[in-house]
Structure 1
C-alpha cells in the first residue's frame, strides 16, 4: 500500500510549487541497487560521492544518479557511463551529454561555472556535446528513499521504455515522494507528479514542440518554490504555454508571503502574490515519516502590470 501518495491524492494536495530546486542538473549513470542516500550508498565509490556532494554544495548544481529502466542486478562497474548536464534557466537553457569510464573526472568540473550556466567545463573535461536526441524523462524509482517511488515509479519507467519512448531513465531522488510517480523532464527542467504514461508522452511531445504542459506540473526547477508557483499561475492566467516565453525576474519577501515578478518575452509583466500555507489535515510527507502538515504554495493574486509606456507622463 502506498501510504503517503494515497493520503496526498485523497486530500487533493496541490502540486504547484513543489519541484526540487536546481539551476543545473548533473546526472551520472550508476547501475545496480541504490541506498537512501544514493551518492554515498550505492555501488558508486562513497568517497567520490561525498566529494561530489561537497563540490556541488552552494553552486546551484544538483547531482543525481540515473540508470536504465529494468532489473538492477549487481553486474559490477560499467565500462562507460552516460553523464548529462542541463541548465534550466530561461535564456540560457542547454542540455549536454558525455560518456566516461572514469566517474572521478566529474571532480575536475568547475561547479560554480556549471551552476551559472556555462557548459564549457563539462565539454572540455568530459568531451561533452549538446544533446541532439529526444527530450529526457527521469522517473524517481528509489525505493530505499521512499517505497512509493519504487512501487509507482518503476512500473511507469518500464511502461514508457517498453512502449518505445526514447530518453527514459530512472533517477535517485526528485523530492516530493507523496506525489509519486514523479519525474523531471529536460532540457526545460519542469517536474511532474502523479504521472501516468499517456500524460508523460504528451509532456514529451510538448517539449519537442517547445511548449509546456501544465497539467500535473510541480514547477520549473530553475526557481525557488514561490517563483515556481507564480510562473505556473501566470501561464494559466495568460494562456501562455511557450517554454521560452516567461521568466521570473524578481522575488521579494520571505516566508510566509512573497511578491514575484514574472516577465514575458514581449515585455509584459505580472505581479504575483504567493503565500505559504500548511497542508491540512495532517498527513505523512513520506512513507515511514511522522504525520505532519507539509508546506504548500498558494497563489493569492495575479495582476498584469501596465506597460512602461502606458503609465503616462511622470510628475512635472
Structure 2
C-alpha cells in the first residue's frame, strides 16, 4: 500500500525543521472518538472547542486533545478531564497539570501569559519523567492510526513514561510522530526501540538528533539552524542551545559561550508528493541550512 509515509521515506525527505511551532502546549483529555477537526468533532462541546481555539490564536499556545492509549469506543464523556499546560523554552521549560470538570473552565486562563511562559499558578507542577504524546488521529490521516496507535500502546505497556495519544502534531507523512515534554522536541519515523531511546534520553536531559523534527519553541528556520549545530558539534543536551535572529541569519548560542551564524533557505521539496494520504501531490517547503560558521566569542 502506497501511503504518504512510504513516499516520504522513499524520497528521503528530511525530518529536521518540520515540527509544529508552539511556545506552550495546552492539552485536554477527551476520551472517545475524534474527528478530523477534533476540537469540534469529539465529545468535547463544539462551542467550547471553538472558543478555546480562538483564545489560543496569536498567543504562542497550541491546543490539542489527548486520551489514554487503547480502544476508544463511543463511550460516555469523561466526568473529569486532565489538563496539561507545558511551556517549552530552553532553560525555562515547565509542565503544569490539573483536573477540570468542564473544559470551559480553561477559557479563564490568560493565554498570552501562558505563551510568554507565565503559568499564573495553574494546577500543580508535573512530577515524574517525560510525557510522550503520540499522534494517532486516523480521521486526519490513516498513517497516524496505523503507525501511531501501535507505538503508543507499546510505550504504554513498557511503563517507562507517561504516554498519551494526541489529536494532531502535523507532518502525517513522518508517522509515527511523537512530541515529548518537558522540552517540546518532536520526533518522527519512530520504531518502538527508537521511541524508548528518545524517552530515556529525555529523562536524562537530552534529545536525539537522529529522529528529531525540531523543538517546537523555535520557528522552522530556527529548528533547522539548531539541528545543524547539533550535527556539527554532537551536542545532545536539551537545553544547551538557544536560537535568535541576527539580521537575516539565525544565531545559535551554546551555554558554554560558543556561537554560530546559520543562513537558512526555504525551498520546495521535489518531486511532488502528497503531504497527507488522500491529498493531491504537492511540494511542501523544507528548510535548508546553506551556510554555518562559528563566530568569535563576545567580549
Q: TM-score, normalized by length of structure 1? A: 0.92
1:95-152 Cα shifts (integer Å, max 9, x gaps): 111111121110000000000000115x1xxxx1111111011000001111110111
Aligned equivalent of 2:118? 118
Aligned equivalent of 1:7? 7
Q: Alignment partner for residue 217 of structure 2, among 222, 231, 254? A: 222
Aligned equivalent of 1:132? 127
| Unmatched 5+ stretches in structure 1 | 254-258, 310-316
Q: CA deviation at 1:91?
A: 2.6
Q: Alignment partner for residue 154 of structure 1, among 131, 149, 155? A: 149
Aligned equivalent of 2:257? 267
- Equivalent residue of 2:149, what SS? helix
1:225-279 Cα shifts (integer Å, max 9, x gaps): 01001001111112211111110022644xxxxx100111122111011111111
Aligned equivalent of 1:54? 54
Aligned equivalent of 2:164? 169
| Unmatched 5+ stretches in structure 2 | none
Residue 87 (structure 2) pairs with residue 87 (structure 1): yes
Aligned equivalent of 1:64? 64
The question of whether the paired residues in 2 share the 8 Å contact of 1:156 and 1:196 is answered with yes
CA distance in structure 1 between the partners assigned to 2:295 and 2:198 by the alignment? 30
CA distance in structure 1 between the partners assigned to 2:224 and 2:290 by the alignment? 11
CA distance in structure 2 between the partners assigned to 1:19 and 1:252 by the alignment? 23
**Alignment of structure 1 residues 274-289 onto 2, 5 Å:** 274-289=264-279
The question of whether the paired residues in 2 share the 8 Å contact of 1:81 and 1:99 is answered with yes
Q: CA deviation at 1:210?
A: 0.8
The question of whether the paired residues in 1 share the 8 Å contact of 2:222 and 2:244 is answered with no
- Equivalent residue of 2:95, what SS? strand
Q: 241-250 vs 39-48, which deviates more?
A: 241-250
Aligned equivalent of 2:290? 300
CA distance 1:251–1:98, shift in 2 (3 Å)? farther
Aligned equivalent of 1:107? 107
CA distance in structure 2 between the partners assigned to 1:151 and 1:26 by the alignment? 25
- Equivalent residue of 2:210, what SS? coil
- Equivalent residue of 1:226, what SS? helix
Q: CA deviation at 1:189?
A: 0.2
Aligned equivalent of 1:144? 139
Equivalent residues, number: 299
The question of whether the paired residues in 1 share the 8 Å contact of 2:86 and 2:181 is answered with yes
CA distance in structure 2 between the partners assigned to 1:302 and 1:71 by the alignment? 47
Q: TM-score, normalized by length of structure 2? A: 0.97
Aligned equivalent of 1:256? none
Aligned equivalent of 1:20? 20
The question of whether the paired residues in 1 share the 8 Å contact of 2:69 and 2:149 is answered with yes
Larger-Rg structure: 1
CA distance 1:225–1:252, shift in 2 (3 Å)? farther
Q: CA deviation at 1:185?
A: 0.4
CA distance in structure 2 between the partners assigned to 1:179 and 1:211 by the alignment? 22
Q: CA deviation at 1:156?
A: 0.7
The question of whether the paired residues in 1 share the 8 Å contact of 2:18 and 2:171 is answered with yes
